[in-house]
Amino acid sequence: MEIIPAIDIIDGNCVRLTKGDYTQKTIYNEDPLEVALQFEDAGLQRLHLVDLDGAKAGEVKNWKVLEKIAGKTSLVIDFSGGISSRNSLEIAFNSGAAFASIGSIAIRDEATLTSWLEAFGANKFIIGADVKQEQIVISGWTETTSISVFDLINKYKDKGIKQFFCTDISKDGVLAGPSTDLYKKILNQYPSISLIASGGVSSIKDLEELSAAGCSGAIIGKAIYENRISLRDLKVFAC
């Protein structure tokens, strides 16, 4: 299982939210590049970079942060937040994103996303399933839809998407453990997908449980910033 550290950006700062609430924001570092370099120095190879300003605004805002990290590290970056048009998608790729993580537009405009998959290749995309009680949440976690995570995965699996990450926002940022039972349920139904767990990881034990459940990756944020899991721990786990 691959360890994928997360950097969430608001106003150019590295932050974390609690349960996706923009009013419950903690700034951990004013220089996201410094954080990314620490991840790289620990031997980690991936990065989940989230433009929270972009997610809220519906257009990419913090592309310069992406460009800076991509230019000064060798991390494989998946970028999300505000990718709502072909122009914003191209900004993300041209700024150094290896993958575009798509959330809201997968719900709101299937035709547009399908055209992107055809133009850029489905292997360049990760579908981000942010959920609350198994229902998809969009627009920076501010709007709950009537679509289930299972319906979303089924639809885009059939369009060639192989990677999905699932965040239970009730778990995100509270260090209460991941939604392992939900991930097991998803993988039981769709065993061929690559499922990346996100939200709630607070210990190495959590990571071991996610690996045993069959997750291909785990996104970790607050547990690192709150020193619940050390970068040394992650390096050993990744090896």
The residues annotated as belonging to the active site are: 8, 130
Of 165, 159, 162, the closest CA to residue 103 belongs to 165
Report which secondary-structure segment, H or E, holds 29: strand 21-29
Q: Which are the contacts of 14, defined by CB distance < 8 A and separation ≥ 6?
A: 7, 8, 27, 28, 29, 30, 31, 32, 35
**Which pLDDT belongs to residue 222?**
86
Pairing of strands 125-132, 135-138: antiparallel
Q: What backbone phi and psi angles, to 5 degrees, belong to 114?
A: -60, -40
**Which pLDDT belongs to residue 224?**
93
Residues of the chain with pLDDT under 50: none
**Which pLDDT belongs to residue 146?**
92
Of 128, 148, 150, the closest CA to residue 139 belongs to 128
User: What confidence tens digit (pLDDT) does each residue in 163-191 have?
Assistant: 999 988 877 666 678 999 999 999 999 99
Percentage, residues of the chain above pLDDT 70: 95
**Which pLDDT belongs to residue 140?**
61
Q: Which are the contacts of 55, defined by CB distance < 8 A and separation ≥ 6?
A: 80, 81, 82, 103, 104, 139, 140, 141
What's the CATH code, domain 2-238?
Answer: 3.20.20.70
| DSSP letter for each residue of 150-162 | HHHHHHHHTTT--
User: What confidence tens digit (pLDDT) does each residue in 136-157 have?
Assistant: 987 666 788 899 999 999 999 9
Tokens 């499922």 sit on residue: 195
Tokens 């937040």 sit on residue: 81
**Which pLDDT belongs to residue 44?**
95
Task: Give me the residue spans of the domains in the chain.
Answer: 2-238
**Which pLDDT belongs to residue 172?**
63
